[in-house]
Structure 1
Amino acid sequence: MKLRGIDLNLLVTVDALLDEAHVGRAAERLGLSQPATSNALARARALFSDPLLVRAPPNGLRRTSRAEAIREPLRTALADLARIVTTGPPDLATLRGAVRLVASDVPAAALGTALTAALAKRAPGIDLIFHPWHAGDEVRRLERGEVDLVITVASASHGSLRTELLGTYPYAIVMQRDHPAAAIETFDLDCWLAFPHIVVSGRGDRQGSVDEALARIGRHRRVAVVAPTFLHALELLCDTDLLAAFPIGVMESNAAARLTSRPVPLTLAPVSLHLVRHHRTDMDPAVTLVAKLVREVAPRLRGEEAG
């Protein structure tokens, strides 16, 4: 039985019927006619596949064992729903708890400081826990409930997941400031491919979308180094003649302070970064707040001030 197929008004009537164990009194309590309440009881019996209330001498009704089992959980659930509807916005200053976030190293490093500072001002009782990045596993960890929010290039708007676009980032060629190629007036394809490259892959893959684009025009590059993280790669770029084709957002990390960039002499599709969350946290004020703050600080990855 899916929740969207259940009439909430019917559950309210069932609660009254089980409490009163009397159709007439339940009808009076709810302001309904007795025939309407009897009809609701019939629908409830079909919903729960149980009579719920059965005849008992001399002229009353008694609850079945199934009715006794669901009576308190149903009352609690309806009370919780009532609080959700009637309670005002939470007092962020009194919130306590932790929000678990997964992001690759560059978004975590570039956004982490601003996110932590914003959270300290808005809800100082909320702790932010960055979980390790496992390439390709972040959405499954969200589905399993191991984390609350994921910042990823993977869009996952399906089932119980919801995705929001944080930004789109074109590629740039990244190199150290005194790299030989940095002084070349015309940085073209031949210049780019004349130097060894570094790529980032959590799985150790040497080729990716850049190599596919090069193959389409009959060219290739030499990948001399594969790094597991962007921060590792940026450190290597600072002291070598390696080049990298990275989303321009990497330049906003402190590790890129000694680096410079050039436009890519090749057409590459930009990278989109998404924030993914699970519907189970829709009513969680702490997760909702952190998701809001992520959206506010995300412009930093485009070199813009956070809103």
Structure 2
Amino acid sequence: MDIKRADLPLLISLDILLEEKNVTKAAQRLNISQPALSTQLARLRVLFEDPLLVPAEVGRGMVLTERALNLQHKLRASINELKFAVNFKSSFDPLTSRRKFTIATNDSVFTILGLPVLKKVLSFNNPGLQISFVSVFGVNVKEDLEKGHIDLYIGDINKMPDSLKVRYLMKDSFIMAQKKRHARGTKKPTLNEYCQLSHVIVSAKGDLSSSIDHLLSEQSQTRNIVASVPSYNQIALVLTNSDCVATLPKQLLEKYQDTLDLIELPFSIPPFELGMAWHVKSQEDEAMVWLRQQFTQAKF
């Protein structure tokens, strides 16, 4: 038999025919007309090169041929497996499930949002439940989500690709940080004083300017950037060992208030909004629904 020439409804009809051994009763169960089912049976006989069912010598029913008898139980088992696969909806239990999640974000977002989720995952003490945070640098968000290289992307909600599912997570503002007992004191600087300070910024590429410098240029101001580091969480180390200052997300810098003073800026920077994005294919995945809930419920 050439299986490519048989469609699924034809095989389902055969399954019922083999069970009922009667075209009229099988047609009633399949909710089709008797002539239509007789036409299907004729096709099946050609496909299997076997009569499959022949008139009974006694009564009005039919008898299965040897080929049909050998086929019946295997066909029923295959159809049941297919029904199970179609109707199966996997459940997710973080205490027992084996699943690895991969989230792309930067280390600032990890510190603010990712760390509470990581702590929650670790609290289940389930070695089969794993979570990886990877750098967004070099990640093609849309493509990597589609291919399953990453499960979730967290970043600026206004820069999410249009084709992805997106949910708002939080808003944050910017603030200046310096080491405690800095020689300049803790008063709010004027704009000129701010620009004259030695600034360190974050840049994965080693750039010595950022969007903040674009804002300052609109006010005909230029700040004194003396260094850049690739990681947000390296900033605290630099500040505590120098007289540099940094302007970064407030909720990130609040994690380091034991060693840093946070000071209001002398100019306005628009707040930014963080969101998470995922591919539509994982919209109903129970494990992914659970993961997204951890971020929406995170206490940061």
- Give your verdict on TM over 0.5: yes
Q: Which residue number in structure 2 is paired with residue 34 of structure 1? A: 33
* TM superposition shift of 1:149: 1.5
Secondary structure in structure 2 of the residue aligned to 1:193: helix
> Between Structure 1 and Structure 2, whose CA radius of gyration is higher?
2
Q: Which residue number in structure 1 is paired with residue 268 of structure 2? A: 267
Q: Which residue number in structure 2 is paired with residue 177 of structure 1? A: 180
Question: Can you list the C-alpha shifts for 1:208-232, whole angstroms capped at 9, x where unaligned?
Answer: 2111111111111121111111012
Q: Which residue number in structure 2 is paired with residue 82 of structure 1? A: 87
Change (3 A) 1:83 1:136: closer
Question: Can you list the C-alpha shifts for 1:65-85, whole angstroms capped at 9, x where unaligned?
Answer: xxxxxxx9997665333123x
**Residue 16 of structure 1 contacts residue 29 of structure 1 at CA under 8 Å; is this kept in 2?**
no
**Residue 186 of structure 2 contacts residue 263 of structure 2 at CA under 8 Å; is this kept in 1?**
no
* TM superposition shift of 1:24: 6.7
* TM superposition shift of 1:94: 2.1
**Residue 126 of structure 1 contacts residue 286 of structure 1 at CA under 8 Å; is this kept in 2?**
no
Give the letter aligned to residue 11 of structure 2: L
**Residue 173 of structure 1 contacts residue 261 of structure 1 at CA under 8 Å; is this kept in 2?**
yes
How far apart, in 1, do the equivalents of 2:241 and 2:227 lie? 13
| Aligned partner of 1:99 among 73, 96, 101 | 101
Q: Which residue number in structure 2 is paired with residue 142 of structure 1? A: 145
State percent identity of aligned pairs.
18
Secondary structure in structure 1 of the residue aligned to 2:104: strand
- 2:117 paired with 1:115: yes
Q: Which residue number in structure 2 is paired with residue 280 of structure 1? A: 281
Change (3 A) 1:187 1:134: same
Q: How do 1:1-307 residues align onto structure 2 when only pairs under 5 Å count?
A: 15-21=8-14, 27-30=27-30, 32-34=31-33, 55-56=42-43, 62=47, 78-84=83-89, 90-121=92-123, 124=126, 125-134=128-137, 137-154=140-157, 155-156=159-160, 158-159=162-163, 161-184=164-187, 186-253=188-255, 255=256, 257-297=258-298, 299-300=299-300
Change (3 A) 1:100 1:136: closer
Which stretches in structure 1 are left out of the alignment for 5+ residues? 1-13, 42-52, 65-71, 301-307
TM-score, normalised to structure 1, is: 0.70
Which stretches in structure 2 are left out of the alignment for 5+ residues? 1-6, 18-22, 50-76
Aligned residues: 258
* TM superposition shift of 1:170: 0.8
